[in-house]
Structure 1
Amino acid sequence: MTHALPPGLTDCLLWSDELGMGYHPRQPMEYSGPYFEKYRVMDATPMGAALTQARLDLVRRHFAGQVVDIGIGGGRFVTEADAMGFDVNAEAVAWLKAQERYYDPYQHHAEAITCWDSLEHIPEPEKLLDHVGEWLFVSMPIYKDQLDCLHSKHYKPGEHIWYHTLHGLIGWCERQGFTLAEMNQVESDLGREGIYSFAFRRHG
């Protein structure tokens, strides 16, 4: 998409106050190499256990069925939630297939998906949500405004593509057909600075 931008705006944060969201057009990183193993190690920590439990609690307050976890990290949530999973990292895909838990939501319907620290990485997330029937669960950084975003440790061009304020994310989800059902800051309370968690339900 960068070729369509004016010269000088091809590698910077593009921000809309009106929409409460930003986009960075830098070429997305390759999720290869030791990416999966790094998250396997993180999943095995006490923080990994606490985050997995908080995420499982959020899902089960709203949905009792099987979810598809998008961007599985180290796979702990997939295992503990008895979930299916989708990833772009080759090692993560191999692990999912070995567990018979690989599921491509771009090709098949999913009643509910979880995007723990992953939605902001996806170049065209609306294409993912087109295949979701009822529930979207998300954790991601939330910013006060553009300046807050630019000074945040979560500002990661080439890794994070999308940046949202609170009203920006809620509004974007509304435009995709999803209404906010729950929001909390449990992950921030556990020590993850600026991370909010959400449950959105398809309306209409």
Structure 2
Amino acid sequence: MDYTGPYFEKYQLLDATPMGAALTQARIDLVRRHFAGQVVDIGIGGGRFVTESGAMGFDVNPEAVDWLRVQERYYDPYQHHAEAVTCWDSLEHIPEPEKLLDHVGEWLFVSMPIYKDQADCLSSKHYKPGEHIWYHTMHGLIGWCERQGFECVELNDQESKLGREGITSFAFRRVHG
């Protein structure tokens, strides 16, 4: 996927809508139910979550990276430890997400499309070869996170209730022991 050009601008426009405001608040609420510290938002969209939650951010889009640097909010979790990361519609885009999670100490927050099965995935509007690398069922994502050392402590369909078809949100906590 090419994340250059008007990509960041497109998501800034989406962030500025009533839906953008509602999604941002739902995401902040999910994080704050579990974690009060600094999070790093992976794939910042238009940056609204970073701004409103006080998060740091990481992105591969050059305009988003420039914006984060100007805001003094750029943070590379592949180079440094992060106690908590948020992956709002981004985990399914990351080629080697295990490398990201190796640097996460305690919390992983995710929103993404979840599919019933292969047929559901192939017929979904979220089926995007060349953009999405990973496609998960509920059981598949929770099992994958468990293999990375994280247990699911919350899942909800708040984003779907707000109008985003087929999106589920999760809070995963690192298992110590």
Sort the TM-score into its range (normalised by shorter chain).
over 0.9
Q: CA deviation at 1:118?
A: 0.1
Residue of structure 2 equivalent to 1:55: 27
> Taking every aligned residue pair, what percent have the same amino acid on both sides?
85
Gaps of 5+ in 2: none
Deviations, residues 98-129 of structure 1 (Å, cap 9, x unaligned): 00000000000000000000000000000000
Cα distance in 1 for partners of 2:126, 2:132 equals 8
| 3-state SS of 2:173 partner | strand
TM-score, L = length of structure 1: 0.86
Residue of structure 1 equivalent to 2:70: 98
TM-score, L = length of structure 2: 0.99
Is 1:124 equivalent to 2:88 in the alignment?
no
| 3-state SS of 2:155 partner | strand
Residue of structure 1 equivalent to 2:55: 83
Q: Which structure carries more relative contact order (alpha carbon 8 Å, separation 6+)?
A: 1
1:15-94 → structure 2 map (5 Å cutoff): 29-94=1-66
Residue of structure 2 equivalent to 1:143: 115
Gaps of 5+ in 1: 1-28
Deviations, residues 54-90 of structure 1 (Å, cap 9, x unaligned): 0000000000001000000000000000000000000
* Counterpart residue identity of residue 6, structure 2: P
Task: Say what the alpha-carbon RMSD is for the aligned residues.
Answer: 0.3
Q: CA deviation at 1:30?
A: 1.5
Residue of structure 1 equivalent to 2:159: 187
Aligned residues: 176
Find runs of 4+ consecutive structure 1 residues off by over 3 angstroms: none
Q: Specify which structure has the higher proportion of helix.
A: 2
